[in-house]
Structure 1
Amino acid sequence: MFLLIGFMELMETVLKAIYHPRNRYLLELDSSSSDNERESLALSVQSEKAFQAFANVDVIGKSYALNEIGSSALAAALHAAALFLKINADWDWFITLSVADYPLMTQNGGWKNCEDRRHQHSKNS
């Protein structure tokens, strides 16, 4: 089970890079994201054929303020774990990731890096 927290611009990139059909994913946009961005992410997930086929990616509808080093990060992880238990209680591990955690090594052993996109996003903001 993966909880992926971040902003819209990199969420799909990170998800596609770490995606594996045997895992479950819960996506949570940060509180600065608009309802339109949440809807857009949900629609994007629903339109991706691999995600449709395995029905293993969910999007949290509403978020609250998160500080990655504070207690709010722990609260978000506990909230996500509770949601995962409602969705499917058959899991052995839980990993919380942020889009800022990149680069990562994928389950297939390859390195994925979206550093260029992160810099591109910060220039456009």
Structure 2
Amino acid sequence: MASVQPYLSRVERAHRLIEELRARAPRPLSARLLAERLGVTVRTVERDVADLVSAGVPIRTRRGAGGGHRIDARAVLPPVELTPGEAAALVAALAAIGPRSSASAQSAMAKLVRSLCEET
């Protein structure tokens, strides 16, 4: 297992949590294992999962032996059409959290900016 940074911002942690669940989908991961992988407490994982579910992320939780958290994730995404306003909102959100916080964030930012700006 790769070493985990001792501190992750809340947004980076949520991104990592979703990616951990997505990589394992459709099998569940226990909060204990997620906590170990993210370098946080089980309580923090449970709070982050609750926040993501509240925001509409399709994370399912099953309690008890063999349970855990899982996400309904696709291996490949269909094309997504955004309005210019929606794309601008995502650019603003990425700029606020730091578009270089991960390779995925950096790639998403570049794609959004290209889609918003006319080529000259």
**Common fold, TM-score beyond 0.5?**
no
Q: Say which structure is richer in strand.
A: 1
Bigger relative contact order, structure 1 or 2 (CA pairs below 8 A, ≥6 apart): 1
Q: Say which structure is richer in helix.
A: 2
Tell me the TM-score normalized by structure 1: 0.29
